[in-house]
Amino acid sequence: MKACTNSSTAQKAPVLPDFSHFDQAQSEVMVDHWLAASSTFMNKVKSGGVKSTWHDLVEPMAWIDDQVSQWFSPLGHLNAVMNTDSLREVYERVLLKISAHYTEISQSVPLYEAYKVLSEASEFQSLDTAKQKVISDALRDFKLSGVHLSDKKKQRLQEIEAQLAQLGSAFSNHVLDSTNSWQYLTQDKNELDGLPKDLIEQAAALAQSKDQSGYVLRLDMPTYLAVLTFASHRSLRETFYKAYVTRASDQGPFDPKWNNDALMVEILNLKDEKAKLLGFDNYAKYSNATKMVGSLSQVTEFLNDLASKAKGQAEIELAKIHAFANDKVAGLELMPWDLSYYSEKMKEKQFGFKEEDLRPYFPIDQVISGLFKLVRELYGVEFCQDKKVAT
């Protein structure tokens, strides 16, 4: 199979987002358009104007859902990786619309009945396994969304879903805002000993952009990992570790407005209420209803078994790192901010090279080319760049 197709086939391919020219306002307009189309289709189902067949019922709904996803997913992605105040505002507004709409759909008795009729029709037996699975999962999800509840309980469940969407977004925002608010400024370049050259250059440039002298390090993941892995100064590793693990809490040097403690309690309470509204003893049992595992006890047994098998090897590896670290610093009490650093040093000694030494051999274009070559050799699939993409 080849991804490089002729023009007639390519016209049917999904439209891909051009992130460099992405219009967040247009994204909201298009999400609203497809949510309206979904509501129109739902009204048609309620009035009996849609046959309970795969072609007339399932395919149109899947198509509309895909259109909503194609416009909302890029918005969600950009909100996660290039968060701005305006983008966040649009994202959260659209998120609430989508949450409310799909909660309403999942509680629609006429739609549930239409899927149920299809599942009991002779057509169902003629469908392939994948299509049967789609229908069966839809019926399961209707029940897990409260289609069987009274109007009063449905209303409460809708309120809970809206609250959970808002709280989940607020939780993520607090983590992001606390991360972005933190920086480490130093005038002493020696304090950055061991860090990759490009990171030190970035730190100098960042300080200059803030009209500061010296070097500024942020708490983003690439910087955090580099400090924990390569920084020779133990105090710097400790500072970064403690800042990173206390983000959005009352345990670190962050604004109290970003503390997620109360949000976590509220989220857990709402999830517990939701599970009990739907007839489950707790949220774990509700969550397990969509999993392949049979029971919660099986989950616990699996995790305990995995832990028991992994613990022995983990203790051996930890002992090796501890012995290596104590050869370097006698009597050192190994702390969490030491593990990555001494693990990397131990690998350097064993294999004779640093992880950073590999960087020049893996530029992004070469890595992507190698990935596509591997896929071609394994699966016979060809990839060609299509520059004709649009939002």
Average pLDDT taken over every residue of the chain: 92
- Count of other CB atoms within 10 angstroms of residue 274: 20
What pTM was computed for the model?
0.83
SS3 content of the chain, % helix, strand, coil (to 5): 70, 5, 25
Residue 218 phi, psi (nearest 5): -95, 180
Q: Of 114, 116, 108, 95, nearest to 154 (Cα)?
A: 108
pLDDT tens string 144-196: 999 999 999 999 999 999 999 999 999 999 999 999 999 999 999 999 999 99
**291 pLDDT higher than 50:** yes
pLDDT tens string 320-347: 999 999 999 999 999 999 999 999 999 9
Dist. CA 68–CA 342, nearest whole Å: 48
How confident is the model over 343-359, as a mean pLDDT? 83
Dist. CA 382–CA 57, nearest whole Å: 34
